[in-house]
Homo-oligomer: A and B are copies of this chain.
Amino acid sequence: MSALRLPSVVAGKTLTEVISMRVNGKPCRTIWPLSDAAVAVIDQRCLPHQFKTVELTNVAEAAAAIENMTVRGAPLIGATAAYGMALAMRADCSDAAVASAADLLQQTRPTAVNLLWALSRMRSRLLALPSSERLQAAWQEAAALCEEDVALNEKIGQQGLALIEACYQKTGRTVNVLTHCNAGWLGTVDWGTALAPIYQAADAGIPVHVWVDETRPRNQGASLSCWELGQHGVAHTLLPDNAGGHLMQHGQVDMVIVGCDRTARNGDVCNKIGTYLKALAAHDNSVPFYVALPSPTIDWQITDGVKDIPIEQRSADEVLTVTGLLAGEESKLATVQIAPAETAAANYGFDVTPARLVTALITERGICDASEAGLLSLFPEQAHE
């Protein structure tokens, strides 16, 4: 892996203290600035088979990295967009440049609301300053947004840890958590959302085992969640997306924890396609279904998530083919076609789980009902005036 080019001491703490996640035992984040001239990210398209980092040097490269899923996960998309704005300021600090960079970044992916939130925050901050101060302010703001993401996720981890701990106290045996897609460290700057409670439970010595949904068509569970759980030493088992209902029917799942790309004001949660099916199975088997989300994932403007959250449609090729390590070859990636040539395929990136199926939302401020009242109990500043 590339060495991290972060300062070795941050706010009086060493990197090992500041960064929770490890790659081959070394502290690592998913995004970090390189001397205010570029931003480094992990190319998540190559995992788990190859660990590569990519340098983004301008706003177009940042937009492409979001669009082509070099980076993914709602919080990390927001962080990358923020740094994309900083990269844009290197070329041009005018009002027009702020607007066009935000537009370019906004068009990359439609579903995760953190993207809109991060761009809105960067735009407001920059337009309030004279153009001569925007370059430095943009880098500072992007860095601040990333630090806040880490802090929010750490708090989500603490909140969720209490749920896992309570389950362990009750059963006295390994806690089995099912998760869908990757809402781990790799989808954020550090810690993750759905996986943060799991990492904290493991760190606290609670025996925890994760059922990892493969998450077709892009296999983020198989490729990313399995990889980062393995790096952290957390016990886990990969499952076809089809299997979770059967496991819940037979008492093999204690709780489901998933992440979220956009939470509506009414508590409906939009997450990776297939989440809704797991929520139905959890509900049918009285398995608690938790959604972990930092508050920038909440869209306070949308009051009916099922109806109004825009669902990204992606290329049919993601469904028609699978990429992986070629059997028998040390490090060669290959793509195989799994259906007859000329087969049509549909590829919806996300679905929306109605609030009625969600046991609770885990936020940085606490755990609440998946409802407007529940959310407002933690975020009273969002009440309509």
Contacts and interface: CB of A to CB of B under 8 A. Distances in A.
Nearest to A316: B238
The main secondary structure of chain A at its interface with chain B is: mixed
A273 B242 contact: yes
A276 B240 CA distance: 14
Contacts of A273: 240, 242-243, 246
Interface string A248-276: 01000000000000000000000011101
A223 B339 contact: yes
Most buried by B among A238, A281, A319: A238
Contacts of A219: 338
Contact of A249 (B241, B306, B336): B306
Assembly stoichiometry (copies):
2
A372 interface: no
A274 B242 CA distance: 4
A216 B245 contact: no
A258 to B, nearest CB: 12
A326 B323 CA distance: 10
Given A326-B336, A336-B325, A348 B214 contact: no
Contact of A216 (B214, B226, B334): B214
B338 A336 contact: no
Nearest to A242: B274
A140 to B, nearest CB: 37
A322 B223 CA distance: 13
Contacts of A324: 321-322, 336-338
A222 interface: yes
B243 A274 contact: yes
Interface string A270-288: 0011101110110010000
Interface residues of A, number: 64
A96 interface: no
Given A214-B216, A219-B338, A338-B219, A345 B238 contact: yes
Interface of A: 48-49, 211, 214-217, 219, 222-223, 226-227, 230, 236-247, 249, 272-274, 276-278, 280-281, 284, 306, 311, 319-327, 333-340, 342-348, 350-352
Given A222-B320, A277-B277, A277-B278, 16 more contacts: A48-B340, A217-B240, A223-B338, A227-B339, A238-B339, A239-B345, A240-B274, A241-B242, A242-B273, A249-B351, A249-B352, A323-B336, A325-B337, A326-B335, A334-B334, A335-B336
A-B residue pairs, 7 tightest by C-beta = A242-B274, A324-B336, A246-B351, A280-B280, A48-B340, A322-B322, A238-B345
